[in-house]
Structure 1
């Protein structure tokens, strides 16, 4: 028995070390770190840790220990929370939806601005607290239900329902009903846009003052895998969806005016041969996956009449981010419909960089730049 207790830790240690070595090789073989990115050694180290975590999650999923999403949730919620003496932080439930309220302790002679954000995880606690403190705002973070237990519609419905409930009780928390800003990072960006669009014309609710959307480590494979799991798409359709073969010709004709790379500014277009998109239509792929084309999943596909009525927007896009062009296309859609847009472009930014703004030795110049830009924008519209 003693030998067993000695062998097991050694085996576990060897396994973890082997996965880490594999992650390091994976990083150096597949990752191209942009030359314009400062602190490249720090970036490589953090990305190796990220690849290591994702790889461990995939291994645990394959051997039946737990799913990758549940493993990532466990790590996110294991982050140590540092209390801010300037804030009162309260966990509440709006119905069955968990929310976290950040309120400045200092009294205010006037009603405060409200920021509603769409990620309640300990990983984002410091970010939410800093945003509430620096803008002297009441901030609500929504704990929407996630994978692997919940799939499409649940996420957006939780965020929408929590937002509507909060808009009805703003005065309870000393919030100026004319100063409500929706904030989102990464996935939350799309949620911000969708909620802004859904609330158009809801005269019985406080109107949204502005959208603060941050489109910020994310590979195409990880992003598409997450979409497949969330929308319950069979992975056998990977090639058909990546090539656009599931899109009927008439649908592509309708949406091309908004989604084509022709809408990107010339400085962001890639030179050389452009790929043919979409591939020849595959009807079977469409019939099984047509919910991908549901406008409820893409703010870019809403009709012009809706887009024209949404509030002004503050968009942050990062050069080294797979979602950069999505931000640029959305910006054009807003501007074409007369919606005021403040655009902040971060040439040395990457997906997730904002989360490192207060991590001291692990912070990046772009992290602080983005945080400061967001705070300055919110202050400017109060």
Structure 2
């Protein structure tokens, strides 16, 4: 009996050690976030083990685990019709509905948007790593969106061609931003986007030491190390570069290809003093020029929309950007807002002091966060007022 109690105590202590991480008191529902982060870390570690054993790519395993927990098959209700189809060969899920309050999760978020906005929501199921790598994901999104913008398709779904927007969160925010920039330069497009809404978007891979990267280096759900690995996954790059990239060796002063782009993400001028605080830029004199030579995609504006030319940015539509304080990507969004404002684009920057990366989809039990509900409502309210 005593040995069983000792073993149980040890297991509880180990579980507590695994779950507990120090978090700032300002973050929303800290203990719940610790549990969510521990679950996500566990899924990543299982996925990495599967990858190490050669069974499948770690992102394939991770996506399977996440889908098993969160993604539901298409369903219809009296309020929202949900159908799976394809647009020019790209899988999409279409949500059509009329107003009715309160829904939950990624499919639920789209359903809620369809109901509350009385809108047609098209969720593009772009192909993922390792099936394809950059820039194929962008090609999928562009192809599907151009298909949807055809007059006969808009008519089929009863969509007003003057009220079309593009949106995405995290990596999806990256693709939405890249799509917006590409469409703003396409003179052949008959129907233009009215707005873009970016939720904690990934916007650059040149500086992994912005104040938000330094402040949130180990913060859930997206620590810096994981973000750098995701970038290398996207480019099919070498994991040996992770440590060098985390200290900005890939954009050191000796890397001439990056020199002209640094000013476009000079956070000392783009961020307010309330954010820069006492943080110092990390600019290496010498680094590893081999990284950019092997992965030139790092400096491509299609992967890093924040570094686009000014004459590209000035043609973008009205923009909404949601950022969270406890997120390595916070400053990407704020810098993009400032660059857009500087060329005359109307921007709403919606910042949440207690927010963390991914929070907008966590609105339902048992992963219901107060900041998740508030970010979701704020985002949908802006769309309702501006679309």
Structure-2 residue corresponding to 1:194: 178
Q: Distance in 1 between matches of 2:114 and 2:174?
A: 21
Q: Distance in 2 between matches of 1:339 and 1:38?
A: 31
Q: Distance in 1 between matches of 2:242 and 2:285?
A: 13
Among candidates 264, 279, 285, match of residue 258 of structure 1: 264
Structure-2 residue corresponding to 1:7: none
Among candidates 86, 92, 112, match of residue 130 of structure 1: 112
Among candidates 15, 25, 28, match of residue 35 of structure 1: 25
CA deviations 1:302-356 (Å, max 9, x no partner) are: 1111100010101100000110000011011100000000111101110011111
User: Whose strand fraction is larger, Structure 1's or Structure 2's?
Assistant: 1
Among candidates 288, 302, 305, match of residue 299 of structure 1: 305
Give the alignment's TM-score, normalised by structure 1: 0.84
Q: Distance in 2 between matches of 1:158 and 1:253?
A: 31
Contact 1:24 / 1:48 at 8 angstroms: preserved in 2?
A: no
Structure-2 residue corresponding to 1:286: 292
For residues 80-91 of structure 1, the aligned pairs below 5 Å read 81=72, 84-91=77-84
TM-superposed CA distance for 1:362, in Å, is: 2.5
Give the alignment's TM-score, normalised by structure 2: 0.83
Q: Distance in 1 between matches of 2:76 and 2:283?
A: 50
Count matched residues: 347
The runs of 5 or more residues in structure 1 that have no matched partner are: 1-16, 107-121
Q: Distance in 2 between matches of 1:305 and 1:350?
A: 32
Q: Distance in 2 between matches of 1:239 and 1:52?
A: 22
- 1:166 maps onto 2:145 in alignment: no
Higher relative contact order (CA 8 A, sep 6+): 2
Do the aligned partners of residues 308 and 33 (structure 1) sit closer, same or farther apart at CA in structure 2, a change above 3 Å counting? same
- 1:242 maps onto 2:246 in alignment: yes
Secondary structure of the residue that 2:160 maps to in structure 1? Answer: strand
Do the aligned partners of residues 253 and 334 (structure 1) sit closer, same or farther apart at CA in structure 2, a change above 3 Å counting? same
Q: Distance in 2 between matches of 1:24 and 1:45?
A: 10
TM-superposed CA distance for 1:25, in Å, is: 3.3
Do the aligned partners of residues 90 and 83 (structure 1) sit closer, same or farther apart at CA in structure 2, a change above 3 Å counting? closer
The runs of 5 or more residues in structure 2 that have no matched partner are: 1-9, 202-220
Q: Distance in 1 between matches of 2:310 and 2:130?
A: 34
- 1:75 maps onto 2:65 in alignment: yes
TM-superposed CA distance for 1:188, in Å, is: 0.8
